[in-house]
Structure 1
Amino acid sequence: MSDKWLGSLITDTAQDGYELAIKLSRMGVKYTQPSDDIRKKIRPIYEENADNLIASSQVIATHFQTVAAANNYWK
């Protein structure tokens, strides 16, 4: 994937930072599995699995920690 989409980790608000963390997580999946068809095919397998949803939340939380630190915790 050569598409440049991440210009900065700096955001105006914590809400924007959280949304960036979600975007980072989603883009990680897209880079790992670039096929839209395969992602659509396997989504029903994991979307109702609590363990998988918790794991997704943990990835988002890790990205949010990174974004928050980059923004000096919006102080």
Structure 2
Amino acid sequence: MSWLPTLQTNTPEQGYELAIKLSRMAVKKTQPDDETRSSLRHDYANNADSLTMASHVVATNFQTVAQANNYWRD
């Protein structure tokens, strides 16, 4: 089974959780080595610019999920 079988979610909150998962999977696919990711975590976890950029990536992914689920319908 694929880790991403669908972008469809039952609620916007589930959609947001999916956006976070999409963002995390992008990091994992970009840097597949667990040890390297773990060693870098302290650097970005304590950097306001890095955290802001992470929030931006999640927001962009949430836009994708929201469009797939038609969250902006009237």
What TM-score do you get using the length of structure 2 for normalisation? 0.94
Q: State how many pairs are aligned.
A: 73
RMSD: 1.3
Name the residue aligned to 1:11.
Answer: 9
- Work out whether residues 25 and 63 of structure 1, in 8 Å CA contact, stay in contact via their aligned partners in 2: yes
Name the residue aligned to 2:53.
Answer: 55
Q: Which letter does structure 2 place at the counterpart of 1:12?
A: N
C-alpha distance in 2, partners of 1:46/1:30?
A: 15
Q: Which letter does structure 1 place at the counterpart of 2:31?
A: Q
What TM-score do you get using the length of structure 1 for normalisation? 0.93
C-alpha distance in 2, partners of 1:21/1:47?
A: 19
- 5+ residue gaps, structure 2: none
* 4+ long deviations beyond 2 Å: none
* Sequence identity percentage: 59
Name the residue aligned to 1:45.
Answer: 43
- Work out whether residues 9 and 71 of structure 1, in 8 Å CA contact, stay in contact via their aligned partners in 2: yes
- 5+ residue gaps, structure 1: none
C-alpha distance in 1, partners of 2:55/2:13?
A: 16
